[in-house]
Amino acid sequence: MEPHLHLEGRLSPGVAIVLLESLRDVDTPAEVLEDEAFHISLPRRLGLSDVIDGQMRRYADMRKRRRQLEASEFVDLLRLIARRPDARMVFEAAGDRLGSEYVSRTHHAGGFARRLAPAGIRRRALLRHLRRVAASLSPGSSIRSDRTDPSVSVAGCLPAAADDSGVACGIITAAFTACAHGLGEVAPVSHPTCESRGDEACRWEVAPLEH
């Protein structure tokens, strides 16, 4: 897909840190390897390289100084990872963590009282939180929600600009899923339309909540 959006807006460098940490985790051997074998494989393990380590330290410094990350740099990072054969795993791991972190910061979002609320009220609350999650991952985009589906649409979606396959949108799908589960909603999330495939907007549908 040739990106048709202006890469404007800024986002928290913490998002980039989580993405690179997920990359590092995927590239970390599950078992302790022999020194020789590890050094042979290290050049192929981007997540363990000095370049990625330096970027993580830079983003951590930006967060400490309360500086924001340019959207264009975030898209470049998404594109770098999207070229990997295991990109889906990296994006889903990052999205799962970002969604869970959002819920942990939003202490008033859950609770026993919320679970007893009617489905309509819970649906509106869930969509409100999902819009905020989408805005944190795609700043500058036009984000709308529809309570009847229910669904969230993102026009000018930054992850969709990363590659033709739309694999980077997995970071939002996973973040939405983790957010819904963290709020106590067993609501499967699907991604039926994607700008990377030529659709007008990326749309995520959430299974209707039970009464």
Q: Average pLDDT by consecutive 10-residue portion of the chain (211 residues)?
A: 60 96 81 46 49 89 95 93 92 97 76 60 91 96 93 96 93 97 87 96 87 51
SS3 38: helix
Question: Considering the entire predicted model, what is its pTM?
Answer: 0.85
Q: For residue 32, what pLDDT is reported?
A: 45
Q: For residue 97, what pLDDT is reported?
A: 97
Query: 163, 169 in Cβ contact below 8 A?
Result: no
Q: For residue 43, what pLDDT is reported?
A: 40
In this structure, which topology does domain 10-206 adopt according to CATH?
H-NOX domain (3.90.1520)
Angstrom distance (rounded) from CA 16 to CA 18: 5
Angstrom distance (rounded) from CA 87 to CA 89: 5
Q: For residue 3, what pLDDT is reported?
A: 43
C-alpha 179: how far from chain center: 11
